[in-house]
Amino acid sequence: MVKKIFHLVLLATISFARWASAQDKTTSDIFALSEQQLKGMVAFLGDTNLSPRCTNHDGSIRLVRPNDWTSGFFPGCLWYQYEYSNDPYWRVQAEKHTRYIVREQFNGKTHDMGFKMYCSFGNGYRLTNNKEYKEILLQSAKTLITRYNPKVGCLRSWDHNADKWQFPVIIDNMMNLELLFWATRETGDSTYYRIAYNHALTTLKNHFRADFSSYHVIGYDTATGNVLQKHTHQGLHHESAWARGQAWGLYGFTMAFRETGDESFLEMATNIARYIINHQRLPVDGVPYWDFDDPSIPNAPRDASAAAVICSALFELSGYIENEKESFLKFAEKVFLSLSSAEYLAVQGTNNYFILKHSTGHMPKNDEIDVPIIYADYYFLEAALRREKK
Ligand code: GLY
């Protein structure tokens, strides 16, 4: 019996390896496809200041206003296309769609400032050195730190559901710290750095379970700084491991190590990576189900966006470690090739001009299930660029 199972597993592994190598795409294949998909999207959008987020239930493209947390990803994709191609056409398009969200620099009602502004203006500044972008980014950082509470040691994530949480902090919030680290580098003012560093330390302390999976939402008491709730909002239940949350943690602590050199952040990123890679319910292609604890696995929907974030993070993390460098790189490469296969990659001119298929945004709300979502595309293009530099 044991022998039979061993043979079955071996066969499945060999056929996956054969299938994957037959499908192998190069980085230039990916950018050739994204060029066509993005061109289609640019033409579809015309002069609207709305941004494409995902495919709706009825098959149409969901467009969102600049204040939506995902509004920076489409301009970000355009910047990555420009970075890869150096074609001035993409710079013009990226500048146009970046400009649409400029007012978000003053929006203090959300923690999503980094997602919105660093993926758009941040990439734009990195690639063009446009001084106006720098000022916009600095104002964005100033606005973001108004959400910091020194008693808690964190930036507040959401203002909604005030009846549930006094001061909610979600694991996703790690992603917004990059803007603050950048602001200290640019200005020499350590305020931004200290806030980002404290936020990461508090998250390290409170967001993780013994197995290094993370909670989605930690609710804090603003008077004492104590933890009141350990919850989920987008996962299956409070004790489950929501796949994208694990991805944000991995990416966030890798970036926090890059920015601070704090070894405890590197250790956490490494532990999260091990948790994901060795998970028994991770499919053989490395693209996770939307929640690692969904009892309907293997029939649960996948989340290609989580895979794209994990892939990009691991290309970076593998550069910081010696022992597991090869295994992390190998896994990142496997995920990249899976996402580049016909199962996940759009056929040119289809998929509502998005690049990847099969992401899951908000399962408990019955929304964005097994559809293309813009942030999957953004982190996939980022992963392709990082892979190219390896
Ligand atoms: N930051 C929200 C999400 O990951 O869906």
Per-residue pLDDT, 390: 85
Whether the CB-CB separation of 202 and 149 falls below 8 Å is answered with no
3-state secondary structure of 253: helix
| Phi, psi (deg, nearest 5) at residue 230 | -125, 100
What's the total number of domains in the chain? 1
Whether the CB-CB separation of 229 and 165 falls below 8 Å is answered with yes
Other beta carbons less than 10 A from residue 59's beta carbon: 8
Q: For residues 19 and 16, what is the distance between their CA atoms, to the nearest angstrom? A: 5
Which atom number of ligand 1 is nearest to the Cα of residue 172? 1
- Mutate which of 64, 68, 69 for ligand 1? The one with the most ligand atoms within 8 Å of its CB, which is 69
Nearest CA residue ID for atom 2, ligand 1: 172
* Radius of gyration for the chain, computed over Cα atoms and rounded to the nearest angstrom: 20
Which atom number of ligand 1 is nearest to the Cα of residue 248? 4
Give ∠ CA 277-279-283 in degrees, rounded to 5: 85
> From ligand 1's centre to the CA of 53, what distance in Å?
12
Tell me how far CA of residue 61 lies from CA of 45, 221, 350, 351, in angstroms: 10, 40, 12, 10
Per-residue pLDDT, 5: 46
Tell me how far CA of residue 219 lies from CA of 48, 55, 113, 162, 199, in angstroms: 38, 32, 20, 10, 14
> From ligand 1's centre to the CA of 207, what distance in Å?
16
Q: For residues 7 and 222, what is the distance between their CA atoms, to the nearest angstrom? A: 56
> From ligand 1's centre to the CA of 15, what distance in Å?
34
Q: For residues 314 and 319, what is the distance between their CA atoms, to the nearest angstrom? A: 9
Per-residue pLDDT, 23: 54
Instruction: Output the domain CATH number for residue 239.
Output: 1.50.10.10
Contacts of 315 (CB under 8 A, 6+ apart): 329, 332, 383, 386, 387, 390
3-state helix, strand, coil in the chain (%, to 5): 55, 10, 35
> From ligand 1's centre to the CA of 172, what distance in Å?
6
**Secondary structure (DSSP) of 10-49:** HHHHHHHHHHHHHH---HHHHHHHHHHHHHHHHHHHTT--
3-state secondary structure of 302: strand
Q: What secondary structure letter does DSSP report for 189?
A: -
Nearest CA residue ID for atom 5, ligand 1: 361
CA 337 to chain centre: 18
Active site residues: 112, 172
Q: What is the pLDDT of residues 320-368, one digit of tens each?
A: 999 999 999 999 999 999 999 999 999 999 999 999 999 999 999 999 9
Q: Point out the residues of the chain with pLDDT beneath 50.
A: 1-2, 5-22
Domain limits at 20? 2-389
H/E element, 155: strand 154-155
Nearest CA residue ID for atom 1, ligand 1: 172
